[in-house]
Chain A
Amino acid sequence: MINFQYARASDVSDAVRQIAADPTAKFIAGGTNLIDLMKEDVERPSRLIDITRLPLKSVEETADGGLRIGALVPNSDLAYHPVIAQRYPMLASAILAGASAQLRNMASTGGNLLQRTRCYYFYDTATPCNKREPGSGCSAIAGLNRMHAILGTSEDCIATHPSDMCVALAALDATVQVAGPAGARAIAFSDFHRLPGNTPHRDTNLEPNEIVTAVELPSRGFAANYTYLKIRDRLSYAFALVSVAAALELEADTIKEARLALGGVAHKPWRDPSAEAALHGQAASQATFTRAADLLLRDAKGFEHNTFKIDLARRAIVRALTQAAAGTPQSQSNKKIR
């Protein structure tokens, strides 16, 4: 790891002041992704600003019946929080589908949102990568791209966002609370992560010198009919090839409200209002689910090694909606898919 300076922030405004004063500084919280990237020489901050002592570690009810999750709440604490387990079990399930117990103990809520892609070429400083070195080219498009995106790609980047937690947060319509030199603002979850376009070095719409302070959940948690289904090369401790967060509100057999988000297939959690609209008011049937899957994947485009993801995603969506409708969510310990 390269040499760097270390400083601690005492509160949010101090953190913003410190980061604004040094254009090559970075915040550090859990460190699970940043330290790894620094060891690989992908990230080269001159100064780390330790934000782990900031008072952003609580989970509180909001006035509108939702929940405010402090940016420093560890992933494991969030997954096992009694209110999350009871009212937002899809979020708990998605978190427990990701990483390992050790990493979940370390990783923060805000850091999970800001983790970088695991594209091999982004990590390999010997190869061109537009995300790491803007303008140098994309090695994945004509390279090994089995893990890469099938939706929302550009000629400059086909990387995926690796988070499981974010797929559930997208489906739940969460809001990201941030603070910066110009004050605080809220960003809808669907607007937080970006598609690569011709600026793949920008993962999110967070401005330089802004800090994530909290993630807010609306009151609706879809606790009765949901699932988080993750398909990967190993049964545990592997990034998703495809994952599906599916949540339904049913009245008898009719779908009153539907949420559907995909992970492992794009530069951000993938949602499409038309696919969800196709579920509304329909009978919870295989035919309805297949139609929604086709809509969600209608612009999917494979590359040399990942075309299998299109069919895998279609089947995973139908299976996830079937699990959600039946009230039999995927277990994250017994991996048999029912």
Chain B
Amino acid sequence: MARASTAARPIIPALERIPIALTINGVATRLEVAPWTTLLDALRDHLDLTGTKKGCDHGQCGACTVLVDGRRINSCLTLAVMKDGAKVTTIEGLAADGALNALQQAFIDHDAFQCGYCTPGQICSAAGLIAEGKAKSADEIRELMSGNICRCGAYPNIVAAIQQAMGQS
């Protein structure tokens, strides 16, 4: 669509805040965000849920992956205000009653990380992958996890960890 980029652009006040409600890891949460606050920044900077990582901030690395209404998405390319009313699950919400989730345990069992920065995104993405139920073979896991980059190169162990967790779920 060709909308003139040169049209006079009004000055937008920096202090505009919009109240939204999110259920984050099962907890009803109310917060006020500026329209331009991404879901990633809302989680990290407004709610101190710093498990979700900012990698590229452009949807290319997957470190910011969270589940919104059960589906994996890139929280860096999502405006918090657009998710008003949604259920969000982050890495902090996967363990239940102090016990690691099957994927978390599998990542430890298979040494599926080195520096660990991509790991919360890898695990949330794998949780989404398992819920989708489309990946059966190792090839399919690799393809459907391709939105999560690991610069340490732990990919073979990540695939093995996901296969272990799939066997348990």
Binding site for B on A (CB under 8 A): 1-6, 23-26, 28, 31-32, 35-36, 38-39, 43-46, 48, 50, 52, 76, 80, 99-103, 105-106, 114, 132-133, 201-204, 206, 208, 210, 235-237, 332-334
Which single residue of chain B is at the shortest CB-CB distance from A114? Answer: B1
13 contacts between A and B (CB under 8 A): A4-B12, A6-B79, A24-B3, A32-B74, A35-B78, A36-B59, A39-B57, A50-B81, A76-B132, A101-B72, A101-B132, A237-B146, A333-B140
- The reply on B14 being an interface residue by CB < 8 A is yes
| Contacts between the two chains (Cβ within 8 Å), count | 129
Contact of A101 among B10, B58, B129 (CB under 8 A): B129
Whether B74 pairs with A102 at a CB distance below 8 angstroms is: yes
- Selecting from B31-39, B42-50, B95-103, B104-112, the interface stretch reads B31-39
Which single residue of chain B is at the shortest CB-CB distance from A6? Answer: B35
Whether A44 pairs with B5 at a CB distance below 8 angstroms is: yes
A180 → B minimal CB distance (Å): 11
Whether B36 pairs with A102 at a CB distance below 8 angstroms is: no
Binding site for A on B (CB under 8 A): 1-5, 7-10, 12-14, 16, 18, 34-36, 38, 57-59, 62, 65, 71-74, 77-79, 81-82, 125, 128-129, 132, 134, 137, 139-140, 142-148
State A80–B131 Cα separation when bound (angstroms).
14
Which residues from B are CB-within-8-Å of A2? 12, 36
Question: Which secondary structure characterizes the binding site on chain A?
Answer: loop
Which of B35, B137, B143: most chain A CB closer than 10 A? Answer: B143
Which residues from B are CB-within-8-Å of A208? 1-3
Which residues from B are CB-within-8-Å of A52? 82
Contact of B7 among A24, A102, A105, A334 (CB under 8 A): A24
State A39–B56 Cα separation when bound (angstroms).
11
Which of A35, A100, A133: most chain B CB closer than 10 A? Answer: A100
Whether B2 pairs with A202 at a CB distance below 8 angstroms is: yes
Which single residue of chain B is at the shortest CB-CB distance from A211? Answer: B1
B84 → A minimal CB distance (Å): 9
B153 → A minimal CB distance (Å): 14
Which single residue of chain B is at the shortest CB-CB distance from A236? Answer: B146
Which of B35, B125, B140: most chain A CB closer than 10 A? Answer: B35
Kindly list 14 other residue pairs between chains A and B, CB separation below 8 angstroms, not including A24-B8, A208-B1, A235-B146.
A3-B36, A6-B35, A24-B4, A26-B1, A35-B38, A44-B9, A50-B82, A105-B72, A106-B77, A133-B5, A210-B1, A333-B137, A333-B139, A333-B140
Whether B146 pairs with A100 at a CB distance below 8 angstroms is: yes
State A113–B125 Cα separation when bound (angstroms).
26
Contact of B3 among A26, A133, A333 (CB under 8 A): A26
Which residues from A are CB-within-8-Å of B16? 3, 5
CB within 8 Å for A201 and B10 given contacts A32-B74, A102-B62, A102-B125: no
Which single residue of chain A is at the shortest CB-CB distance from B136? Answer: A333
Which residues from B are CB-within-8-Å of A43? 5
CB within 8 Å for A102 and B65 given contacts A3-B14, A46-B9, A236-B143: yes
A243 → B minimal CB distance (Å): 16
Which residues from B are CB-within-8-Å of A76? 132
Which residues from B are CB-within-8-Å of A48? 35, 79
Whether B144 pairs with A101 at a CB distance below 8 angstroms is: yes
Which residues from A are CB-within-8-Å of B79? 6, 28, 31, 35, 48
B147 → A minimal CB distance (Å): 2
State A206–B14 Cα separation when bound (angstroms).
32
Which residues from A are CB-within-8-Å of B58? 36, 39
CB within 8 Å for A28 and B82 given contacts A333-B140, A334-B139: yes
B24 → A minimal CB distance (Å): 18
A107 → B minimal CB distance (Å): 10
State A191–B143 Cα separation when bound (angstroms).
33
Which residues from B are CB-within-8-Å of A6? 18, 35, 79, 81
State A210–B3 Cα separation when bound (angstroms).
11
CB within 8 Å for A80 and B74 given contacts A4-B35, A36-B59, A202-B2: no
Which single residue of chain B is at the shortest CB-CB distance from A96? Answer: B143
B157 → A minimal CB distance (Å): 18
CB within 8 Å for A36 and B77 given contacts A28-B82, A101-B132, A102-B147: yes
B88 → A minimal CB distance (Å): 14
State A132–B4 Cα separation when bound (angstroms).
10
Which residues from A are CB-within-8-Å of B9? 24, 44, 46
Whether B73 pairs with A24 at a CB distance below 8 angstroms is: no
Whether B147 pairs with A103 at a CB distance below 8 angstroms is: yes
Which residues from A are CB-within-8-Å of B128? 101-102, 105
Which single residue of chain B is at the shortest CB-CB distance from A37? Answer: B58
